[in-house]
Structure formats: C-alpha cells, structure tokens
Amino acid sequence: MSHKIDPQLFSTQGHALEHQACPQCAKAQRDGELQLRHGKHGPFLGCSLYPECDYIKPLHQNDGHIIKELGVPCPECGNELVLRQGRYGMFIGCSDYPQCHHIESLEHGEPEVCEHVACPECAKGHLVERKTRFGKLFYACDNYPKCKFAVNQVPVIGKCQQCGYPLLVEKKLASGVKLQCADRKCHHTQDDE
C-alpha cells in the first residue's frame, strides 16, 4: 500500500520567510531578502545579498537576554538580580551587566551557614557551604571578596593541638574520620582525647 504525501502540507512553511525584507538592506534601499541558512552553530537567517550585506539573525536567543526580574538586590552592587538565558542554560545575573559581572548558578540557591563557624582569617565573616561549577562542595568565608579563605573539608570549631589555629576540618581516612588543622602550613592530625 503506497501513501501519497500532499505537497500542500509543506507550502506554508516555504512561504513563511519568502519576501521578508532584510532590515539592513531596507535602510540602504537595496532589495535583500532573508533566507534560512545553516552554519556551524545551527540555522540562522541571512541576507540573500551576502557578501555585499552581512546581516544575520539567530533563530534561537542564547545571548543572556532577561527572562524574569527577581526583585532581589545584587550582593555586589545593589541593583536587581534577573534570570537570564545564556548559551549554556539559565542563570541568575545582575541587571547592571556589563558594569557588574555578578552571576549565580540556579542550583545552589541560598548558601548554608556551617553552624556559625567563624572565619579564622578575617574573624568578621562566617563559613558557608558553596559548590564549584562541577558540583564539588567547599566552605568559604561569606565576606568574599574581601576575605578569600576557603577549605575543601567540613569545618569544625576547635583549636589545633600543635599550632593553636582556631579551626579544624574533618579528614576521612581508612581508619575513620579524624580532625585535622585547617591551616595549610600545619595540617596536624589531632590526637584522640
């Protein structure tokens, strides 16, 4: 049993772009029309008078355009944070871009404070749980960028037995979890008391 395909089904798609004037040529009073073209980044609309006219229009917007205003102030400059669509997906960014480059991932949301562990470097901030762009956890001072203190292991309130540094971290060993000095110069494993 053979099926015949009705060519009328495709006639409207072919005419959708037909005779749509190129905006750049219209300003220059030329007769360029937009055509569907294919490039290494996918399909786009281009002028029929190329290379004389280099007008292109992407079919998909992945340029960081604003999707929604969030009504939350930017932690860096105080302007409003917005939800944007970028090349690699949605993200939260400052509405004052490019003057302010603050961005946030949608995944981590509000950072979790680690039981009010004070930052041993600046003594003003507290350590908060963060994620790298690859999803790995680390703990950093919430006074960033003024303070750049960060550790990869879970911070624990305590004092190093050897150097007196005011913060310890959990170190997972084959023999179990031990506490270790958070100071990079020391890293003394604490004795069980």
The tens digit of pLDDT for each residue in 131-167 reads 776 667 788 888 877 888 888 888 888 888 889 898 8
Quick one: pLDDT at residue 110?
44
Quick one: pLDDT at residue 8?
55
**Domain identity same for 117 and 172:** yes
Total domains in the chain come to: 3
**Domain identity same for 99 and 151:** no
Quick one: pLDDT at residue 89?
64
Going by C-alpha positions, the residue among 147, 193, 188 that lies closest to residue 168 is 188
In a domain, 163, yes or no: yes
Q: What is the pTM of this model?
A: 0.41
In a domain, 76, yes or no: yes
**Domain identity same for 144 and 173:** yes
**Domain identity same for 97 and 113:** no
**Domain identity same for 69 and 140:** no
**Domain identity same for 33 and 74:** no
Residues of the chain with pLDDT under 50: 11-15, 108-113
- Please give the Cα distance from 34 to 47 (Å, whole number): 5
- Please give the Cα distance from 113 to 45 (Å, whole number): 49
**Domain identity same for 100 and 113:** no
Q: Which domain holds residue 23?
A: 18-58
Quick one: pLDDT at residue 142?
83
**Domain identity same for 86 and 159:** no
Quick one: pLDDT at residue 106?
61
**Domain identity same for 47 and 24:** yes
Q: Give the number of other CB atoms < 10 A from CB of residue 81.
A: 21
37: CB partners within 8 A, 6+ apart? 43, 44, 45, 46, 56
In a domain, 165, yes or no: yes
**Domain identity same for 46 and 74:** no
**Domain identity same for 27 and 82:** no
In a domain, 3, yes or no: no
Decide if 178 contacts 191 (C-beta within 8 A): no
Quick one: pLDDT at residue 14?
44
**Domain identity same for 72 and 150:** no
Quick one: pLDDT at residue 99?
86
In a domain, 5, yes or no: no
